[in-house]
Chains A and B, each alone.
Chain A
Amino acid sequence: MTDLEHRYPARETEPYGPPSGSLADLLERVLDKGIVIAGDIKIDLLDIELLTIRLRLFIASVDTAKKAGIDWWETDPALSSRAARDALAEENARLRERLDALESAAEETTGAVR
């Protein structure tokens, strides 16, 4: 878990298969498509969407963190929960922004009436 560029070869061209940036498409296919032949070992992949959401949040926060020069995922064992918190904080900030915009629009309207 050290070489991020190597772990996310999104820009690499693959000989046969997905163009760059389609990790969600790949997961959708390898996780629950393909013919199911019962194996000897049962792995429960029931909540596939949950797995992929976690992955998405993780990638989003890696991108953000990389820009800020942060590399907590190398040492933090609870990286997925941290990723989820990051996404919440991000969403929180977005909602605040939106609220501010709405409030100022409302003030404008009230101002126009007076």
Chain B
Amino acid sequence: MSTTAAGPEAPGIVCAFAVSRTPPDPALLAAARGHEEGGPLRAVRAGGLYLVVQDVPAALFGEEALTERLNRPGDLERCARAHHRGVEAAAGRGPVVPLPMATLYRGDLTAVRAVTARQPVLETLLARLCDRTEWAVKVHAAEAPPESATDPGARTAPGGGGRAYLSRVSARRRDRRGAHEKALAEAEAVDAELRRYAVAATRHRPQSERLTGRRAPQLLNIAYLVDDARRADFTEALARIAADGGRRAVRVDASGPWIPYSFARWDEDPQAGPEQEVRP
């Protein structure tokens, strides 16, 4: 393991990725790339824990420079992927607590101090995340077919004129409201089913249609924390839900397994029961 500390007067910036209890695998650290512009990944001892860091150039990772870069889509994506690679490399030999992207220090000393000051909480979290992965599930309303082409009412409406038009409009509005309520109920049923196989679940803010690129609204955006021992049960439940012809009002998409980013948080009590969740 490379534990070379940057000298106190080194002008660079230290970028932190994740905290682990077990020493990270040196081969994995050496093979991982981290940020393209930075040095090799290093593991630094912080009390009884390890912090995976990388030296990065101040010219690119200083406050102004990085803010500007993160507002450029190409750089934002590269940074996000680099951060994830660093977290993955740290996770080779055991659980990790990932830090958010762009957690930056002036040197190893302050980075280590930040970790050791929070060691008890970090240790509790590491214990909680051990042998568990995160699964991201998004439930969207099913996309409605284009109205003009399929609405038989438009063609067979017996009466013309304003009244017929208005009644058509209000009928369509009723249909739409009914469809939305049905979709919401189905989405909640999907969540209830998946929770049976999860240790914890947390609801994220549903993504806007501009972000998802879909016309149908996102109803639920949930992360599940799943025990490795129950992973097969969870993925089978996902497959069952996807195959369920009875659920026509929603579309369910899932991705995983993820390093449990969504469950590495201060703001929930790691001792609390499995049903805890954070509502938006």
Decide: A45 and B115 in contact? CB cutoff 8 A. Answer: no
Residues of the B chain whose Cβ atoms lie less than 8 Å from the Cβ of A42 = 63
Name the distance in Å between A27's Cβ and chain B's nearest Cβ.
5
| Residue contact B88 to A35, C-beta cutoff 8 Å | no
Q: With a CB–CB cut-off of 8 A, which chain B residues contact A36?
A: 99-100, 103, 266
**How far, in Å, is A101 (CB) from chain B's closest CB?**
4
| Chain A hits for B99, CB < 8 A | 34-37
B241 at the interface (CB under 8 A from A): no
Q: Give the CA-CA distance A14 to B160 in the complex, in Å.
A: 59
Contacts of B77 in A (CB 8 A): 7-8, 23, 27, 55
Give the residues from 1 to 37 in chain A that come closer than 8 angstroms, CB to CB, to chain B.
Answer: 1, 7-8, 14-19, 22-37
In the complex, the answer to whether B104 meets A41 with C-beta atoms within 8 Å is: yes
Q: Return the contact of A40 from the options B101, B104, B204, B266 (Cβ within 8 A).
A: B104
Size class of the B contact interface (CB-based, 8 Å): 35 or more
Most buried by B among A31, A37, A53, A112: A37
Question: Would you give 11 A-B contacts (Cβ < 8 Å), ordered by A?
Answer: A1-B74, A17-B84, A28-B207, A29-B262, A30-B98, A33-B264, A34-B87, A35-B266, A45-B101, A55-B76, A105-B148
Pairs of residues from A and B, 8 with the lowest C-beta to C-beta distance, nearest first: A113-B160, A58-B73, A29-B261, A33-B261, A34-B98, A41-B104, A105-B148, A22-B255
Docked complex: B143-178 residues within 8 A CB-CB of A: 146, 148-149, 154-155, 157, 159-161
**Cβ contact within 8 Å between A30 and B105:** no
The minimal Cβ–Cβ distance linking A43 to chain B, given in whole angstroms, is 4
For A25, list chain B residues within 8 Å (CB). 136, 255, 258
* The residue from A16, A43, A49, A58 contacting B104, defined by CB atoms under 8 A apart: A43
Residues on A with C-beta less than 8 A from B106 are 40-41
Given A24-B212, A30-B84, A34-B100, A18 and B155 touching (CB < 8 A)?
A: no
Q: Does B50 sit within 8 A of A, measured CB to CB?
A: no
Given A37-B99, A43-B102, 5 other A-B residues pairs in contact with their CB atoms under 8 A: A15-B88, A30-B84, A35-B97, A39-B104, A55-B77
Known contacts A26-B84, A35-B97, A39-B104; A53 and B72 CB within 8 A of each other:
no
Question: Closest CB-CB distance, A76 to chain B, in whole Å?
Answer: 11
Measured in the bound complex, the distance between the Cα atoms of B207 and A27 in whole Å is 12
Identify which of A7, A52, A108 contacts B211 (C-beta below 8 A): A52
List, in ascending order, chain A residues with CB within 8 A of B265's CB: 33, 35
Q: Report which of B71, B103, B121, B255 forms a contact with A18, defined as CB distance below 8 A.
A: B255
Given known contacts A16-B88, A17-B259, A24-B212, A39 and B16 CB-to-CB distance under 8 angstroms:
yes
